[in-house]
């Protein structure tokens, strides 16, 4: 697939940054990932405005001046999807400094934009789409950063070292995925996923304090309301997580992904449980354009 870089389409392997660039050496690049979903009206970007708003917030948090505004960014994404003739898949948007820079504060503050399109199956296998297979999760000893240390609500490359280490620890212990706690000991999120729990029919998810404001987290809250399910954003203790009847991760490409066990303890009798199944079906309908209540979430490419 061809990458869009500052107004030009290039073969992906020709996109370069200096190893001395601020984005590489200090981890200051910011990014956003979008889902291209198949609908009866052709391919559509799922909630690109919400993703682009988060991208703009990430840029502000990292002091990266963006060379384009919201509408222009959405147009660039649509052009990249169209040029690569995608019917579904993923799109990754970056803003970054590409040139050599030794200073801690970059002198030349002109950020570039790059857009990469990719097929999901090649990268994530069965790990994304309408019916992701249930995962085992382990709670890591590595805590999620607090907003008083780092801008945890931003998607900046340097912020992902913590999640990378936490996930590595869980995988080394034999789990598929990880649940990170925050500095107070409450459940925060996965390395690149938000997390939800169900107890006695009620859905809970950790407050936004320490977690990325996931677009899918927000979509799940909306569809749960549409299903008249009780839902609360609240502090969740590890004990509550372990005692839940159902648990699931959320993310742009995985959508709703059931959690089968936590720290080796089976969660619920069936996986996915009934509430997870209903939320997943409702969200899949929204992605596919089958529920007109969520029609505004789709931006058609055609
Ligand atoms: N938390 C983190 C740290 C993430 O990187 C992601 C992926 N963007 C998520 C949660 C899920 O967010 P979204 O639903 O917007 O993909």
User: 100-140, pLDDT tens digit by residue?
Assistant: 999 999 998 889 999 999 999 877 777 788 888 999 999 99
Protein residue whose Cα sits closest to atom 9 of ligand 1: 193
What's the 130 CA to ligand 1 centre distance in angstroms? Answer: 17
215 lines ligand 1 (CB under 6 A): yes
Which pLDDT tens digit goes with each residue over 183-229? 999 999 999 999 999 999 999 999 999 999 999 999 999 999 999 99
Protein residue whose Cα sits closest to atom 2 of ligand 1: 192
Which pLDDT tens digit goes with each residue over 216-270? 999 999 999 999 999 999 999 999 999 999 999 999 999 999 999 999 999 998 9
Report the alpha-carbon distance of residue 139 to residue 130 in Å, rounded: 26
What's the 291 CA to ligand 1 centre distance in angstroms? Answer: 24
What's the 102 CA to ligand 1 centre distance in angstroms? Answer: 31
Is there a contact between 142 and 99 (Cβ–Cβ < 8 Å)? no
250 lines ligand 1 (CB under 6 A): yes
Is there a contact between 271 and 247 (Cβ–Cβ < 8 Å)? no
Two structure tokens written together for 38: 């198949």
Question: Measured from the CA of 216, which atom of ligand 1 is nearest?
Answer: 14
Which pLDDT tens digit goes with each residue over 11-64? 999 999 999 999 999 999 999 999 999 999 999 999 999 999 999 999 999 999
Q: Is 0.85 surpassed by the pTM of this model?
A: yes
Quick one: pLDDT at residue 123? 78
Four-point Cα dihedral 156, 159, 163, 169, nearest 10: 140
Closest C-alpha to 231, from 242, 217, 221, 241 = 221
Four-point Cα dihedral 110, 301, 224, 226, nearest 10: 130
Report the alpha-carbon distance of residue 52 to residue 74 in Å, rounded: 7
Burial of 125 (0-12, 13-18, 19+ CB in 10 A): exposed
Question: Measured from the CA of 219, which atom of ligand 1 is nearest?
Answer: 14
3-state SS, the chain, equals CEEEECCEEEEHHHCCCCCCEHHHHCCCCEEEEEEEEEECCEEEEECHHHHHHHHHHHHHHCCCCCCCCHHHHHHHHHHHHHHCCCCCEEEEEEEECCCECCCCCCCCCCCEEEEEEECHHHHHCCCCCCCCCCEEEEECCCCCCCCCCCCCCCCEHHHHHHHHHHHHHHHHCCCCEEEEECCCCCEEECCCCEEEEEECCEEEEECHHHCCCCHHHHHHHHHHHHCCCCEEEECCCHHHHHCCCEEEEEECCCEEEEEEEECCEECCCCCCCHHHHHHHHHHHHHHCCCCHHHHHHEEECC
Is there a contact between 209 and 216 (Cβ–Cβ < 8 Å)? no
176 lines ligand 1 (CB under 6 A): no
Tell me whether strands 194-199 and 202-206 are parallel, antiparallel or unpaired. Answer: antiparallel
Question: Measured from the CA of 250, which atom of ligand 1 is nearest?
Answer: 14
């Amino acid at each position: 697939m061809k990458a869009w870089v500052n107004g030009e389409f290039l073969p992906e392997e020709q996109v370069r940054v200096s190893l001395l660039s601020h984005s590489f050496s200090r981890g200051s690049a910011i990014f956003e990932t979008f889902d291209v979903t198949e609908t009866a009206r052709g391919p559509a970007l799922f909630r690109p405005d919400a993703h682009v708003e988060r991208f703009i917030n990430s840029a502000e948090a990292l002091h990266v001046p963006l060379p384009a505004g919201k509408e222009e960014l959405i147009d660039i994404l649509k052009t990249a999807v169209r040029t690569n003739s995608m019917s579904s898949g993923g799109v990754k948007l970056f803003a970054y400094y590409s040139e050599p820079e030794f200073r801690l504060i970059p002198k030349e503050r002109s950020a570039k934009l790059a857009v990469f399109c990719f097929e999901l199956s090649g990268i994530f296998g069965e790990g994304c789409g309408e019916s992701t297979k249930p995962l085992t999760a382990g709670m890591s000893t590595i805590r999620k950063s607090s907003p008083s240390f780092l801008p945890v609500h931003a998607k900046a490359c340097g912020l992902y070292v913590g999640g990378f280490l936490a996930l590595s620890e869980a995988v080394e212990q034999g789990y598929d995925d990880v649940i990170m706690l925050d500095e107070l000991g409450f459940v925060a999120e996965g390395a690149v996923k938000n997390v939800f729990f169900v107890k006695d029919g009620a859905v809970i998810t950790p407050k936004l304090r320490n977690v990325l404001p996931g677009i899918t987290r927000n979509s799940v809250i909306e569809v749960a309301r549409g299903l008249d399910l009780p839902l609360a954003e609240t502090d969740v203790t590890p004990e509550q997580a372990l005692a839940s009847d159902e648990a699931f991760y959320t993310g742009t490409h995985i959508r709703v992904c059931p959690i089968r066990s936590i720290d080796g303890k089976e969660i619920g009798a069936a996986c996915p449980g009934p509430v997870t199944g209903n939320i997943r079906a409702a969200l899949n309908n929204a992605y596919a354009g089958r529920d007109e209540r969520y029609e505004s979430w789709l931006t058609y490419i055609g």
